[in-house]
Amino acid sequence: MRQDMMKDESHRNTAESKHADSTRQRSLTYDETKAAEAAFKGEPFNPAWSAAAATVYAGITDAMEKRRMAMAVESEVAEECLAER
């Protein structure tokens, strides 16, 4: 029983540690910065960049697309509401 509790505690500490590492702030590398700039400018991804840069690029472009979609839906709903008056 004591060993099970120790395993559970060890697993919890490891999980908390991984979560803390994933949310820790750090500076972007050169290629991550270039990927972020390209994503915001609408430029294509450079395949020479690292996997981490690809993650940055994909995250930004996905978020921007979701925002564009939300704005389009809001605009459409507003137009429908005005047309009903």
Split at pLDDT 50, 70, 90, the class of 5 is very low
Closest listed residue to residue 44, CA positions, set 64, 69, 61:
61
Compute the distance between CA of residue 5 and CA of residue 11 in angstroms, rounded to an integer. Answer: 10
Tokens of 73: 């839906």
Spans of all domains in the chain: 2-83
Phi, psi angles (nearest 5°) of residue 35: -65, -40
Q: Tell me whether residue 35 is exposed, middle or buried, using C-beta atoms within 10 angstroms of its C-beta: 0 to 12, 13 to 18, 19 or more.
A: buried
Entry pTM: 0.61
Structure tokens at 31: 């290629």
pLDDT tens digits along 23-74:
789 999 999 999 999 999 999 999 999 999 999 999 999 999 999 898 888 8
Question: Is it the case that residue 21 has pLDDT exceeding 70?
Answer: no
